[in-house]
A and B are shown apart, each in its own frame.
With several copies, the nearest count.
Chain A
Amino acid sequence: MQHLKEATPCFLNLFIFIFGWVFLPSLETELCNVSLKNPLILASGVLGLSKNNLLRAQRGGAGAVTIKSVSLEERSGHETPNIAFFEAGMLNAFGYCNPGIEEALKEFSDLSCFEVPVIASCTASNASDFAKLVEALDKLDFAAIELPLSCPHTPGYGLLAGQGTPEATKEIVEACRKKTKKPLLVKINASLPRIGEIALAAEKAGANAITCSNTLGPGMVIDINSTKPVLAFKVGGVSGPAIRPIVVRSVYDLYKRIKIPIIGLGGVLRGEHVIELLMAGASCVGIGTAIALRGHNVFEKCCDEMLAWMKKHGYKSIGELIGLAHE
């Protein structure tokens, strides 16, 4: 009897453990050998100017956070208005405002306050400047470095510097690859018809993952009462719900063409949208604009929605969902 009495709680624990293992879904995952508590990544340029900004996103439940893209020199960016809204999303044209690499190196020199991986992002007009930035960022504790070759609204950068081609992608990624052993993420633009070739070029040149997508377009919103485009720069990149179907299709296409993982990004508002991108083939999913709608804990909210859906439908892990729409 004594024997049994002691054994009971032990059995119970085991039972609870097995029960939990069998029935409770987990959101844990990994990207380029970096483990993440959930697949949600704060998109570059949204918050991310300062460590404090990023801490806020961490507190809001992000699985990883990305800094705002930094350039060699300080840039104050385009004049305001930098954003314009329409009923299905928004346009932005900040023009890569950022304090420059020197300030960024100071701001992000100590990342010990982060419990989640911090991803760097840098932008330049040519391959050698990209390489310089990557070399500098390599020295800090970033988990990975993202190269946005796809901004649609900053003269001298991204698409407006002709970076949205397989050739330019190859050149830039190769130059950066020499400067770091950290995972390199290449951010592309789903607006382009040749994304498959661009992603393949990045993969061949040594990129470790593709982020798809930057803002689309560009687009324009005209305020008819003043007869003027709202944005000071007139045009801006489209983000939010409006772009999600195009991003889903792009991720779906890339999943068939490349072997490196994909970060799906664009128009995610809810946990169900995260799952949609995972099923299309994304390994992780970025969130930006949704913060304006659902607050800084949108990550937490999406996680709750994902867990509820996974429980209801009997999925236990993120891995089961990735690429499921291809089957």
Chain B
Amino acid sequence: MNEFERSRVREARILKIEQETPTVKTFELGVSLDAVPGQFVMVWLPRVAEKPFTLIKTGNTIAIAVKKRGGFTEKLFQLNEGSYLGIRGPYGKGFSWGGVKKVCVVAGGIGIAALVRLAEELAKSKVSVDFIAGFRTKSEVLFKERIENVANLHIITEDGSFGTKGICSDVLMDFLKKNEYDKLYCCGPELMMVKVLKLCKKFNLKAEFAVERYMKCAVGLCGQCCLDEWLVCRDGPVFSSEQLLKSKEFGKFYYTKSGKKVAIQ
């Protein structure tokens, strides 16, 4: 099967919808697919648009976790079970965990979607996982049970309504001081990832980050998702700390839908 065949749209009707938090729903889709944790699919809602989402479940059926943000995700939230979605993929490079024994995972908000399967796979490989998950507030806490099953979960909320009060990067400092990790994995808002990257550098810890950029083609053609010379859809979304430390754009610039370079605030 060549890349053309692989990228044809596949029917993926919604089997089950769960409202996980006030702003996040998970959608189980009726299509079978294998993927490495960190890989994503393009999800198409006919007559609306097509956008990238990480897989939080693979196998005979797949699932995605969606945070309501703008036009597309709002339309997704209006769908019922049985609705039609099309998917293509999986795309991108996922996380790698060869030779690690003890790791730290840091998730910010919906970024946890990219990390939940990773934690499960790590546990299967008998890796000990400290999982720091930061949310805005108690009601936004996501995947608590799923992660508690496979990792030492430390929940943080900005308003202190659940778990430790604070932001991930602060708490992470403590963890890094007290533990010896082989590797760190992180996904969340880019400015948070920048802070985590700095800590990793300070503690000389190897890390992998799942990065988001505006995507259109997902096959490395349109150039929309570029991060320095890399294309996030193809060379990422998972990048190593070595790569990101060399980056001139990580945490600083991204390209809008027109391809305009703008600063990240």
Contacts and interface: CB of A to CB of B under 8 A. Distances in A.
Do A and B belong to a common assembly? Answer: yes
Interface stretch (B46-54, B116-124, B158-166, B168-176): B46-54
Given A84-B9, A223-B9, A100 B258 contact: yes
A35 interface: no
Given A89-B4, A293-B4, A52 B229 contact: yes
Contact of A230 (B2, B9, B228): B9
A85 interface: yes
Contacts of B257: 76-77, 97
Contact of B220 (A75, A107, A292): A292
Contacts of A291: 220-221
B84 A225 contact: yes
Interface residues of A, number: 50
Counting contact residues on chain B (CB < 8 A from A), the size range is 35 or more
B interface secondary structure, majority: loop
Contact of A226 (B46, B228, B229, B260): B46
Contacts of B50: 80-81, 232
Interface stretch (A41-49, A177-185, A196-204): A41-49
Secondary structure call for the A interface:
loop
B9 A240 contact: no
Contacts of B249: 52
A153 B2 CA distance: 26
Interface string A73-98: 01111011111111111101010011
A293 B217 contact: no
The 8 closest A-B pairs by CB, nearest first: A99-B260, A225-B11, A49-B223, A47-B223, A53-B223, A49-B259, A80-B50, A228-B46
Interface of B: 2-5, 7-9, 11, 42, 44, 46-51, 84, 86, 88, 216-217, 219-224, 226, 228-231, 234, 249, 255-261
11 contacts: A47-B221, A49-B259, A76-B256, A84-B9, A90-B4, A98-B259, A99-B261, A103-B261, A223-B46, A228-B47, A288-B221
